[in-house]
Amino acid sequence: MEFLIVGVIALIAIALATALGPRIGVAAPLILVALGVGVSLIPGVPDVEIDPEIILAGVLPPLLYAAGVSIPATDFRREFKSIGALSVVLTIISTVLLGVLFHAVIPDLAWPWAFALGAIVSPSDPVATAIIKRLGVSPRVVSLLEGESLLNDATALVLLRGAVAAAASAVTVWTVAWQFVVAMALAVAIGWIVARINLWVSARIRDTTANTVFTFTVPFLASIPAELVGASGLVAAVVAGLVTGNGAARALSPQVRQSDHQTWRAIELMLEGAIYLILGLELIATIEDVERDHAGVGFALTTAAVTLVAVLVLRAAFIAPLLFGQARRARRAEALIPHIEHARTRLEDPDASHEALRGVAAKLAGRARSEEHAHRRLTRAEADISYLLRAPLGAREGALMVWAGMRGVVTVAAAQTLPTDTPGRSLLVLIAYFVAIGSLVIQGGTVAWAVRVLKPSRGATPDEEADERAALREQLEKAGADARAQFRDSGTAGTGTAERIAVIHAKREALLDARALGTFSSAALSAMLTELDHEQIRLEL
């Protein structure tokens, strides 16, 4: 009964903190931490100690899966190299250099545990992305931060597991590196397979409630087999989320997708809130342990402050050349425009089409199987170039990306996964907690101010967005008109509702085709897909 009461109170606290946070200008995670601390100070409340395995195997897989489902596939594809650099390369560099820092400043801290703490404080948090979205920053900046915060979580946790394994037995750097590569590769394969099975099964479960129950298992269907074969269950959960999110619009009914969307938003909210509440509940007891067994809270605070500065410096040093590479990429892409125009002209010439196909294949690093395929590749290339030129990343956007790289839920959760027999565990956990809290307070509390000062690109103007929506609607209306004509010409018996649903299906296919080509922004496509889904659900009721 006590556990049930605690659970109910926790859910109420999470809901209230989420609702009140934006109104009072305080991030919901900080409210939950404060509530947890307040509850832990009540006389008679026992110390809270969570089994690390619960966080690692029970909380993080669905949390990362939920984040993966929501990322726009087109934006992720376009920014894949930059996201990969931020989420993998920067995380590895940060883990190593921060590990060196911790080994230097913490007496008697062995190298594996120093790198473990480095991995814990390396990943950024999606809280910043949610804040920046509300502030109207360029969708390209949002995509980079969103993709980074998703994948670097998994990368950091794989590195953490390798460091913990290294502490338990003597291994070489090359052994850890090889295990990292194998863990990532196997996890990607398992996550992809589970996602495809998930889409196949979900498409055949007609009952929305039953399908919702089934989707609860998907992160674990990916993570558990991956862990059993020595891969990363967390990476598998992320990949399963990405593949499911990309394929859901074509494979699943609108009712199932709408239900899944709301379900996973609620799950994500509850799991994140629970982790911050646990942080607050454990904080006082952790501080007492550090005061009793180590150099004191002052040392942990100082180390956390140094860590925050080091994290920002490392991030700035990495993002600066990354932006230079992005600018170079944009210039190279712009230089392709004349070649694309020439190739399109050649494709329209029957006598030169085969030569044009070879040119397209050479310029776009792929083989065009037919003229239609070549035209599609050209259209996609033009859309990608337009995306790069329409939203360039400059110093203002780079500075915002540096400041928005705050630490949060994954740092807290990863700290809680340290084995209970870790030497100096309380000190390491407290440093991680202080880093997360300090980052949320300092960076999270000032990111809106940073946006006002830096004035980064806001993306499309309201007029441009309206024009884009009008162009997309016109394209879909054309597809709908063609489908309506075919429906009537076929003489198919049915009602007006059947015809309207057939038109919606045709519009959705045209929308998904436009998404594959990247000819419209993810925001416009998502809004229109939701509109089509709502219309179909209304007709099918």
Res 365: pLDDT:
42
Taking only the tens place, the pLDDT of each residue in 281-313 is 877 877 877 777 666 788 889 999 999 999 999
Q: What is the mean pLDDT of residues 509-535?
A: 87
Q: Is the pLDDT of residue 315 over 50?
A: yes
- pLDDT of 523 reads 82
Question: What pLDDT, on a 0 to 100 scale, did the predictor assign at position 13?
Answer: 82
Q: Which pLDDT does position 366 carry in this prediction?
A: 47
Q: Is the distance from CB of 191 to CB of 243 less than 8 angstroms?
A: yes
Residue 371: predicted pLDDT: 65
SS (H, E, C) 265-331: HHHHHHHHHHHHHHHHHHHHHHHHHHHHHCCCHHHHHHHHHHHHHHHHHHHHHHHHHHHHHHHHHHH
What does the pLDDT average to over 179-190?
86
Mean pLDDT over 266-290 rounds to: 81
- Asked whether residue 226 carries a pLDDT value surpassing 80, the answer given is yes
pLDDT digits (tens, 9 = 90+) for 50-75: 776 777 778 888 888 888 888 887 88
Q: Which of 245-249, 304-308, 444-448 has the highest mean pLDDT?
A: 304-308
The answer, yes or no, to whether residue 204 has pLDDT greater than 80, is yes
The CA distances from residue 91 to 38, 114, 150, 155, 303, in Å, are 34, 15, 12, 7, 19
- Match 């792929």 to its residue by tokens: 366
- Least Cα distance to 428 among 289, 528, 328 occurs for 289
Identify the band that residue 320 occupies on the pLDDT scale cut at 50, 70 and 90: very high
Looking at residue 354, what is its pLDDT?
Answer: 57
Name the region of 498 (left: φ>0; alpha: ψ -120 to 50; beta: rest): alpha
Output the six-digit token pair for 318.
């990495």
Q: Which helix (H) or strand (E) holds 485?
A: helix 462-489
Note the pTM of the prediction, 2 decimals. 0.81
Residues 216-236 have a mean pLDDT of: 89
Highest mean pLDDT among 265-279, 318-332, 383-397, 479-493 belongs to: 318-332
Burial of 114 (0-12, 13-18, 19+ CB in 10 A): buried
pLDDT band at 137 (very low <50, low <70, confident <90, very high): confident
Mean of pLDDT over the chain: 82
* Terminal-residue alpha carbon distance, the chain: 40
Q: pLDDT by residue (tens digit) across 414-443?
A: 888 888 888 888 889 889 989 988 888 888
pLDDT of residue 339 exceeding 70, the answer is yes
* Distance, CA of 215 to chain centre: 19
Q: Distance between CA atoms of 85 and 325, rounded to whole angstroms?
A: 11
Q: Could you tell me if 414 and 64 are in contact, meaning their C-beta atoms sit under 8 angstroms apart?
A: no
Cα dist from 111 to 91, 156, 206, 296, whole Å: 17, 16, 53, 22
- pLDDT for the residue numbered 208: 84
- Residue 173 — pLDDT band, cuts 50, 70, 90? low
pLDDT of residue 99: 93
Output the pLDDT for position 155: 84
